[in-house]
Structure 1
Amino acid sequence: MAREATLTLAGLPVLARIPEAPKALLLALHGLQGSKEHILSLLPGYAERGVLLLAFDAPRHGERGSPPSAKSPRYVEEVYQVALGFGEEARAVAEAAQERFRLPLFLAGGSLGAFVVHLLLSGGFRAQGALAFIGSGFPMKLPQGQTLQDPRVQALYERPPALQGENYGEVPLLHLHGTKDLIVPLARMEKTVEALRPHYGEGRLARFVEEGAGHAITPLMARVGLAFLEAWLEERAP
């Protein structure tokens, strides 16, 4: 039986779902307008299989404020400012979790959280493996009339994470997507995998596409993701 607790890691409140005998850590990163509670609710069965789940609210999310509004003239810029902040905090939380628990650490992200997973990997963060649910390593298309002022966000468009595959260190990565996703089109995920393929050995970069699924982490995606993590956890075992 797993228990829930709120931990402080890297100075942030982190929701943890802790199994009796944890064998791995999974830092789960939620999407735009999501929360730490929501992303953990989408990963049933993980703790029961010995995965210690960790999640925290991104900047301007959950207990930390209001997400960017699509009505804002700087909406896209604000979204990726959140992503950049989320990525910096995620790295700090992940490192603190590894120090505290001394267990192999995996990453998972949904939608914007998946983009943050790519930010971490392209920045050289070495996880045991990673899941990118309903997301990609390319930023969203800039709407007509919207401009960028933040040079850090501009840099994401000039050199997206997916075009920095040489920095991923072949960290095992599975993309999970639906054929009917209207928020992050399937083609953007496929473009990500295509860009990363030259930098990966056989079996370390994978994709799973669920027919008819939209922009949601489905129970089937969650199960496939867990199987992927367990496979790489076994690979690590002596």
Structure 2
Amino acid sequence: MRTERLTLAGLSVLARIPEAPKALLLALHGLQGSKEHILALLPGYAERGFLLLAFDAPRHGEREGPPPSSKSPRYVEEVYRVALGFEEEARRVAEEAERRFGLPLFLAGGSLGAFVAHLLLAEGFRPRGVLAFIGSGFPMKLPQGQVVEDPGVLALYQAPPATRGEAYGGVPLLHLHGSRDLIVPLARMEKTLEALRPHYPEGRLARFVEEGAGHTLTPLMARVGLAFLEHWLEAR
């Protein structure tokens, strides 16, 4: 396995490339995260043949920042403006990666990255499967005093991704969550699955809850996610 920096869709992408890759996995990090951080949370994936790709979201990592601050009166709006930009870039990176490598593509997202994965699915993007770690398909509850005026962000609250399940096309989706997550409460993840279930064939929508875990992508979640991806890689 080797690590390289690639340019895809005009963006700097960190790649972990196995000797004989059999699939692509585009990993989308969370708020305050980075491409290096999300890849560090997915040990063993490259060794099992997944060519890992990650890039920094707008205002994160090596890009001009800083990330949104919770002290800002427009924090929520700023967070979801980042998410909308991240989604557009992720689509372009994924499409170019598929053209370049000619391999089946999977998605993984952590926290905000999981929400971005839902955005992609709700817009009709069709990876082979998706891992949604410690996230949901609904935006955060608006804190008191927060102002949202951006039309794109308002649209996310009016029609969250998870309410558009017919657009997901039954793409295999596994949500992995901690029972004690205080950032994205477990109930919000369960609400996501409840909204999507009527639009999913049996066996394609799943959940894994790690008892005692908080808002952390744990090694156990990573292992369960890897098994899910391997199953759907072999099933098609």
TM-score (norm 2): 0.99
> Aligned Cα RMSD in Å?
0.3
Q: Which residue of 1 aligns with 2:83?
A: 83
Q: Which runs of 5+ in 1 are unaligned?
A: none
Residue identity opposite 1:42 in structure 2? L
How many angstroms does 1:145 deviate by? Answer: 1.1
Q: Which residue of 1 aligns with 2:150?
A: 150
Residue identity opposite 1:36 in structure 2? K
Q: Which residue of 2 aligns with 1:34?
A: 33
Residue identity opposite 2:86 in structure 1? F
Q: Which residue of 2 aligns with 1:104?
A: 104
Spell out, residue by residue over 1:75-128, the C-alpha distance to the aligned partner (whole angstroms, 9 max, x if none): 000000000000000000000000000000000000000000000000000000
- 1:61 partnered with 2:60: yes
Q: Which runs of 5+ in 2 are unaligned?
A: none
- 1:18 partnered with 2:4: no
How many angstroms does 1:27 deviate by? Answer: 0.1
Q: Which residue of 2 aligns with 1:46?
A: 45
**Helix, strand or coil for the counterpart of 1:231?**
helix
Task: Give the Cα–Cα distance (whole angstroms) in 1 for the partners of residues 74 and 162 of structure 2.
Answer: 24
How many angstroms does 1:22 deviate by? Answer: 0.1
Residue identity opposite 2:59 in structure 1? R
- Give 4+ residue runs of structure 1 displaced > 3 Å after superposition: none
Residue identity opposite 1:146 in structure 2? Q
Percent sequence identity over aligned pairs: 83
Residue identity opposite 1:233 in structure 2? L
Task: Give the Cα–Cα distance (whole angstroms) in 1 for the partners of residues 178 and 78 of structure 2.
Answer: 26
Spell out, residue by residue over 1:50-74, the C-alpha distance to the aligned partner (whole angstroms, 9 max, x if none): 0000000000000012100111110
Q: Which residue of 2 aligns with 1:71?
A: 71
**Helix, strand or coil for the counterpart of 1:119?**
helix
**Helix, strand or coil for the counterpart of 2:62?**
helix
How many angstroms does 1:141 deviate by? Answer: 0.3
Residue identity opposite 1:44 in structure 2? P
Spell out, residue by residue over 1:172-205, the C-alpha distance to the aligned partner (whole angstroms, 9 max, x if none): 0000000000000000000000000000000000
Task: Give the Cα–Cα distance (whole angstroms) in 2 for the partners of residues 20 and 145 of structure 1.
Answer: 52
Q: Which residue of 2 aligns with 1:95?
A: 95
**Helix, strand or coil for the counterpart of 1:63?**
coil
Residue identity opposite 2:40 in structure 1? S
How many angstroms does 1:147 deviate by? Answer: 1.7
**Helix, strand or coil for the counterpart of 1:164?**
helix
TM-score (norm 1): 0.98
- 1:140 partnered with 2:143: no
The 5 A counterparts of 1:185-196 are 185-196=185-196
